[in-house]
Every structure is written in C-alpha cells, then in structure tokens.
Structure 1
Amino acid sequence: MKLFLSLALFAAFLLCPTACADGVREGLSLAAVQALPALFPFFVVSGLLVRCDTARLSPLLAKPLSRLYGLPPEAAPALVLGLIGGYPVGAATACALLSEGVLSREAAERVNRFCNCASPGFCIGLVGLGVFGSAQAGALLYGIHIVSALIVGLFFARTPLSAVSQRIHNRNRTSFPSIFCASVQQAASTALTVTAFLTMFSILLRLLSPVFALLPYGNVLDGMIELTNGLDELTELPLPRRARLTLASFLLGFGGLAVQFQVRALAEAHDLPVRGLFAAKLLHGTFAAVLTAFLFSLSPAVLTVSSPELTPISVRFRYTLAVLFVSALYPIWGWKKRRK
C-alpha cells in the first residue's frame, strides 16, 4: 500500500506539473501571508514559557487540569496556548514540554489530543467575516470550537496517569538570552514544518480538485484536506446559512489533514505517540457541528449574518458566549466529581 501511494504521487507529479506548480505557489503564499504571521509569535512564546518555571504561573489551572483531565499543572501552557494560538501551537508546546522533561510522554500525549485549536483571529476574521460576513458568527463559532475541544479531552482522561509518568525531571537553570535564542530557533524549525505541509497539501488539493468537482457538494472535501481553502469554498455552496455554519464548525474542529499531519510530524520528531489523534479530531468536529446546529435551532438570530463590514461584539453577545462556556463546563465538572 505504501509503495502504491508513493508511485501514485510520483505519477501525479509527472503528469500534472502545472497543477503542482500552482499548488506550491498557493501553499507558500498561504504560509507567508496567513499562517506564519499569526503563528510564529506564539511558537516563540511557547518556547519561552516551556523553558521557564510555568508551574508557578498556573495555580488557577492546576485543580481543573487535575480533576477534569488528570494532567499536572505543567501542562497548562500547552492547553492555553493551544486554545488561543492556532494550529499547531498546542502540539509544538506539548512536544517542547516533553523534550524539556517538564511533562511525561503519557501526559504530553493526552494533552496533545485536544489542545490543537483554531485561533480566535482565524475564526472571527477568516471564517466569521470572510465567509459569513459577521464577526459575531465567527466569535460564536470559536466559542463552540473551544467548548467542543474541552469536552473531547474528557474522553481521553478516563484513567489516571501512572505515578512514574507524573515525575518531572529537573531542568538546568539558564539565562533569559539563552532560552530566548533556543525558543527562536525552535520556532523557526516549527515554522518550516508548517510551511512544508501547507505547501504539500496545497499540491494535493490542486491534484484532487477535478475529482471533487465531479461530486455533489464536493467542495466540502477541500476542507478535509486543507482547512483554509475548504472554508473559502463554503461561500460557493448553494446551501442554507444553517448548513454552511454547521459545516464550517465541523471543519474547524476536524482541522483538515494538513493540520493533523503537521501535528504528527512535530510529535514523531520528539518521539511522542499520536494514537487516537484522527479519532479525537473527528470527534471534535462532530461535537462542534452538533452544538452549532443545536444552538441555531434554539435561537436562529444568534448566528445572524450581517453586512461584510466589521460588526462590533455587543455586551449582550459576550454574555451569551460566557453562558455557553459555563453551561457546557458545569455539568462536566459535576460528572467528574460524581465519578470520584
């Protein structure tokens, strides 16, 4: 099978040089214009936090991480940066925590399954304003995206970490210039990995686009390959607003194969297992789609598409987001306490 796929790719590259060249240009443009400007600062920050004593910075997260997910407080940087930094900042942080001896392999594997999320800027700017013409719709999709990720994490935290896996190795104390240089170098390596996979999957998308065009609503499959291009295609689908919002929510949770292979490449470079990653992302997308459809059915106006101009997020809408987070997390907290 591996040989067949390799030969198929080789034949496709030989037979479709124009499509390959267009894919390379699109992938490099996507990395340079959209991905790296948003991700690179978080790559550097994650490296700095990993090399500092982050346990003292996360006392508020220590109890939730332990009760809900069975994780030590040192996992907080991977979770927090993964929720706000964008794909694949969470994976890069988890790998750095593992390589620095801050997290065990078991703990890093657990947090890596649900800490890779889209950034708020991506959801509000590209999805909300770019696809649906509404900043509020994008903000609500981001809220649903985060809640779904936190719920997915519970499915992989049913067993406590072993006593051996909770041990943390002592790290050598180094100066800030040293950890800054190491963080920038690590960020550059991660950025190169992201660029390579965005380029490769843009080529694959170019090669597969004629096949997808023959299928009904085949444009949706673009997002399963590469997320950004797939979301752009949603504007062309002759579907009602509710269906397109639900599809966008699913694609944000699933992340696309390009993102998943970025996570896999970073993990395997640090000898971090990636078992269950595809299932976790599929579950993430399913939960996000169900929550979106449910919320839309309760109040269609909450995802109203307005003009393409930036619409301010009102206090009332922020209150709606806060209620969504609390209402989703409170029963989860009670369920975990009852299990104890």
Structure 2
Amino acid sequence: MIRTILLACLSILLVASIITKPDAAFQASLQGLTVWWNIVFPGLLPFLTLLELMLAFGAVHALGTLLHPLMRKLFRLPGETGVAMVIGWTGGFPCGAETAAALRKSNTLTAKQGNRLLALSHLPSPLFMLLVVGTGFLHRPELGIAIALIVWLSALLPALVAARFTRREPVQTGQAAVDRPAAGIFRQAAKAMREARERDGRTFGKLLGDAVSVAVYKLMAIGGFMIFCAVLVKLMEPLLPSSIPPFVLSGLIESHIGTYAVSAFSFAGGVPWKAAAIAAVLSWGGISALLQAGSAIAGTGLSLRSLAIARILQSAVAFLLMLLCWKPLTWLMNGVTPAASAFAWQHDETYTSGIGAIRAGDLLSLWPYAPALLLIFTCGITLLAAVSVISARLRLR
C-alpha cells in the first residue's frame, strides 16, 4: 500500500513538472527521439529481424544445447538454462529476463538458480554495443568490440564466483534427469535446432513478416523508454550537484541515453576512461532495464532487488576491467584489425558533436572489422563447444 501511494505521488509530481516546464520536457523528448530515430532504429532493425529468424530456425536453441554441460559444470545451473543465456546475450534487454522467467514458471530451476541466471542473462544487446555505441556514438568500431567483450566478461566473472560458493541443488521436476553423452552433444544440438524449427512451423514469408513486426515492436518499446527517460533526466538535472558529471544521471536511469551522454563527455583520462564509463553504464543497464526485467519476472518468485545488486557489482567490475585490460585490448585489436590502429590513442578524439546533428549516416561500416568479428565469434563457439564436451566427459566419469 505504501509503495502504491509513493508511486502515485511520484507520478503526480512528474506530471506537474512537465506542466510547469513544457518547453524543457519537449526539447528533452525531441532529443531522445532524435537519437532513437536516427541511430538506434535504423542501426538495429535489420539485425533484430535476423535474430528473430535465427530463433525461428532453431540456431539459438542449437547454441543453447551446446552449453548444457557448461552451464551444469561451471555455473551449477540446469543445462536448459543455456538457451536463456544465448537468447539474453544475443537479444539484449529484456530477452534474457523473459526466458529466465519462463524457465522458472516451468519449474526447471529454483528461485536461487533463477536469480543467478537472471543476473547472467539480462545483458545489453551486442548489436547495440557494436553498431550504435561503437560506430554511431563513438565513431570507433573497435571500441564497440572492446566494450562488448568487457561487458560479457563482467557478467561471467561474478557468476563463476557465485557458483563456487553455491551448493548443488536437487534436480527439479522440469529438468532432464540424465546428462547428454559428450560424444552426442553435436547431434543433440542438431536435434534441438530441428525440433525448434518444427515447433515453429511458419512458412518463410510468414516468418519474415512476423520477424519484422517483432523487431519493430521491440524498437518502439526501446524508443518509448528512451524518450520518457530523457524527459525524466532533463527535469531532474537542476537537482544534481554541479560537481557530479551530467552523464551520471542519464546512465543511472537509461543505458541508451546514458551511453550517448558518456560518449559526448570529455574525460581528463582520455579514451580509456570513456570506454570504462560506457562499459559500466551498459553493465548497469539503467533503472529502465530493471523495470523491464521486473515486468518479465512478475509472479515467478525471482527477486528484482537481487538483480539490482548484481547489476551494481557487474558495473563496478566492468569499469575496473576496462582500465586494467586496456593495454591488452589495444594489442589484440591492433593485431587482428589493422584498421584499429587508432585504438591506442590516449587522447580523446571521439565523436562529440551536438545531439541534433547525429544521423544514420554516421554509422561507420563494420566491414573492415568483419574478419576480427568472425574470428572472435568462431573462436568463442569453438571454445564453448570444447569446454562443454570436456565438462560432459568429466561428469560421466
């Protein structure tokens, strides 16, 4: 009851603020719309459509099956949670939370397991990090690659540590009773892909139309959050002490406008500190990402407070990892992509023009970085498959 009254009072206060400052609210709304329409929407629509096609054709389910032994051995989670991890890491907010909630509702995992899975799978979209942040906001695609690697690593490390201090829990009714033989893991992946395609059953024409519709719906939801949070940030700015950088409030509330605010801010420490701040904002995800997760997990017994604590921890880990790994990442990017030689610059020359000037044409081509991205993806899949096979064999002994 108290929470309801508090939320009602805050809503009334927000409406009153918009009425008293309509010009500021309109300008903030227009700025959020500009970034979304000119960069986020055209940059992500084709790739979100392809992601929906991958889900329908079962490619994501096949990758999830490859992760079955890995999830059991390393994270002490049911093997079925591999699908949630793959969907969350490829689809972004709130795909991982929705899948974790579905597994919890089917009694595939306990509440404790669900909370750990939620923290591991509720991550920003890699397409947003590579395309929008790397090429659109920063005009440095190699920075997008580095930021994505750090964000993923900051999610993996706390999950691995938490698993080491977690006792193995009894098998739930929805879990598979036996482990998959190591020798047949690839056959199981192919079977999962075929079964997912058969369950879908839509023709290619119908599937393509639905994929576009779902992608547009997701982008509309993202746009709504961005515009609302941009207005909220603008109205709260006068309350912020002058000693606090302006991007802190944006990053606290919404990751899309937060990362843009960070990319437009000049850091005394140069590019490494800017990249670290962006990684921290993306790992946190913003209050809007928490609200999306809260909507997905409602009625499942999963804890939004636990997710918020995990997000704060991952944000701190991401910030520190980026600073600690800056030189190794510089060496890696210079080695795999000659075009990324500017990655080692220590002075801040990222894109910082006005928010109204940014356009879809500002998205640089990722084609020079395609070999590096393909190499990283191939090595990642190979490594996951190898670790899964080894984990399955060790478990069967």
Report TM bin, short chain. 0.7 to 0.9
- Secondary structure of 1:69's partner? coil
The reply on whether 1:304 has 2:360 as its aligned counterpart is: no
Q: What's the CA shift for 1:16?
A: 2.2
Q: What's the CA shift for 1:278?
A: 0.9
Matches within 5 A, 1:195-234: 195-212=223-240, 214-234=242-262
Aligned equivalent of 1:283: 313
Matches within 5 A, 1:1-340: 1-2=6-7, 4-27=9-32, 34=40, 37=45, 40-41=48-49, 44=52, 48=56, 58-98=64-104, 101=106, 103-104=108-109, 106=111, 107-157=113-163, 158-164=166-172, 167=175, 176-177=201-202, 193-212=221-240, 214-234=242-262, 235-241=264-270, 242-268=272-298, 272-296=302-326, 303-305=343-345, 312-313=368-369
Whole-Å Cα distance in 2 between the matches of residues 217 and 42 of structure 1?
38
Q: Is the 8 A contact 1:136 1:317 kept in 2?
A: no
Q: Is the 8 A contact 1:249 1:289 kept in 2?
A: yes
Whole-Å Cα distance in 1 between the matches of residues 276 and 22 of structure 2?
36
Q: What's the CA shift for 1:84?
A: 2.4
Q: Cα RMSD between the aligned structures?
A: 4.3
Change (3 A) 1:128 1:223: same
Whole-Å Cα distance in 1 between the matches of residues 107 and 219 of structure 2?
23
Letter in 2 for 1:69: F
Once structures 1 and 2 are overlaid, which stretch shifts more, 139-148 or 266-275?
Answer: 266-275
Q: What's the CA shift for 1:9?
A: 2.2
Aligned equivalent of 2:183: none
Q: What's the CA shift for 1:80?
A: 1.0
Once structures 1 and 2 are overlaid, which stretch shifts more, 248-257 or 269-278?
Answer: 269-278
Q: What's the CA shift for 1:85?
A: 2.3
Change (3 A) 1:182 1:84: closer
Q: Is the 8 A contact 2:107 2:173 kept in 1?
A: no
Whole-Å Cα distance in 2 between the matches of residues 314 and 186 of structure 1?
27
Q: What's the CA shift for 1:296?
A: 2.1
Q: What's the CA shift for 1:174?
A: 5.5
Letter in 1 for 2:124: A
Q: Is the 8 A contact 2:87 2:95 kept in 1?
A: yes
Whole-Å Cα distance in 1 between the matches of residues 162 and 300 of structure 2?
21
Question: CA offsets per residue over residues 175-230 of structure 1, 9 Å max, x none?
Answer: 62499799999878766654543333222122123444833423233222222222
Change (3 A) 1:43 1:120: closer
- Structure 2: runs of 5 or more not aligned: 1-5, 177-197, 334-342, 352-363
**Normalising by structure 2, what TM-score?**
0.65
Whole-Å Cα distance in 1 between the matches of residues 50 and 173 of structure 2?
27
**Count of matched residue pairs:** 323
Q: Is the 8 A contact 1:43 1:92 kept in 2?
A: no
Q: What's the CA shift for 1:67?
A: 1.0
Letter in 2 for 1:205: V
Q: What's the CA shift for 1:65?
A: 0.3
Whole-Å Cα distance in 2 between the matches of residues 233 and 113 of structure 1?
25
Change (3 A) 1:54 1:42: closer
Q: Is the 8 A contact 1:205 1:225 kept in 2?
A: yes
Greater RCO (Cα-Cα under 8 Å, separation 6 or more): 2
Q: Is the 8 A contact 1:227 1:251 kept in 2?
A: yes
Change (3 A) 1:38 1:146: farther
Identity across matched positions, percent: 20
Question: CA offsets per residue over residues 7-66 of structure 1, 9 Å max, x none?
Answer: 4323323322333334444555555552572685377458748xx798776443111100
Change (3 A) 1:39 1:30: farther
Whole-Å Cα distance in 2 between the matches of residues 128 and 56 of structure 1?
29
**Normalising by structure 1, what TM-score?**
0.74
Question: Computing the radius of gyration over CA atoms, which structure comes out larger, 1 or 2?
Answer: 2
Once structures 1 and 2 are overlaid, which stretch shifts more, 80-89 or 30-39?
Answer: 30-39
Once structures 1 and 2 are overlaid, which stretch shifts more, 88-97 or 24-33?
Answer: 24-33
Q: Is the 8 A contact 2:114 2:302 kept in 1?
A: yes
Whole-Å Cα distance in 2 between the matches of residues 11 and 274 of structure 1?
29
